Amino acid sequence: MNSGVSAVLERAYPGARAQLKRRILAGALACFNEQGIEPTTIEMLKERCDASVGNLYHHFGSKEGLVAALFFAAMDDQTVLRDERMAQAQDLREGVAALVYSYVDWVVAQPELARYVFQARSAVAKGPHGPELLQRNRVLGKALMAWFTQPERLAQLRDWPAELFPSLIIGQAENYCRAWLSGRVKSSPGQYREMLAEAAWSSVARPGI
């Protein structure tokens, strides 16, 4: 198992008793990334994870439950890094940079999980765990908006709809990260993190600030 993936799964499911669950998740990640989520069958997961069908259903309930558990483990890990960086930001510009840097740095550190997140988001959103994803996104969005809409920070933002800002800040980094993960570009996003942060700042800051 990739050491980075192993560390993420250990943080999500710590302890010796969760060892089988971690092994199933790691095998599922490899299977989903190689085969795609929809084509992957329970039988394929059983073979790849070296686990019984009973183990798979006991720990995750269904294939959809496994897809969601892996997605949420990655999402939570990414959120922890984002929150750590945001907590260090002293002003709006540093906050914008913190969002971009945390996003780029996580993708570079966890390319296998990042690749999975991109393909799994739609499957989770449309599946039985869609309401949980919606609720998690609402909580994350509310926390971000609370930070960005402090009066002294709000005054520095363009007078545009607030719902635009997350896309304006992360969208360019996300687009490049997708291209890198798919092999369409070769240079690591980490090489361009400062440029991407500067582009994000230019997108949301009031002219002249």
Query: Please, which residues bridge with residue 7 across strands?
Result: none
- Record the pTM: 0.94
Residue 93: closest CA among 137, 146, 152, 138: 152
What pLDDT is recorded for position 1?
62
What pLDDT is recorded for position 106?
98
| Domain 70-204 coded CATH 1.10.357.10 | yes
- Give the separation between CA 86 and CA 98, rounded to whole angstroms: 6
Please state which architecture CATH assigns to domain 3-64.
Answer: Orthogonal Bundle (1.10)
Q: Exposed e or buried b for every residue in 11-24, given b needs 16+ CB within 10 A?
A: ebbeeeeeebbbbb
* CATH topology match: 3-64 vs 70-204: no
What pLDDT is recorded for position 162?
85
What pLDDT is recorded for position 3?
78
The separation between CA 23 and the C-alpha centre of its own chain, rounded to angstroms, equals 20
- Give the separation between CA 62 and CA 44, rounded to whole angstroms: 14
The tens-digit pLDDT sequence of the chain (209 residues) is: 677 899 999 999 999 999 999 999 999 999 999 999 999 999 999 999 989 999 999 999 999 999 999 999 999 999 999 999 999 999 999 999 999 999 999 999 999 999 999 999 999 999 999 999 999 999 999 999 889 888 999 899 999 998 899 899 999 999 999 999 999 999 999 999 999 999 999 999 999 87
Query: For 129-178, what is each residue's pLDDT tens digit?
Result: 999 999 999 999 999 988 988 899 989 999 999 889 989 999 999 999 99
Break the chain into its structural domains and give their ranges: 3-64, 70-204
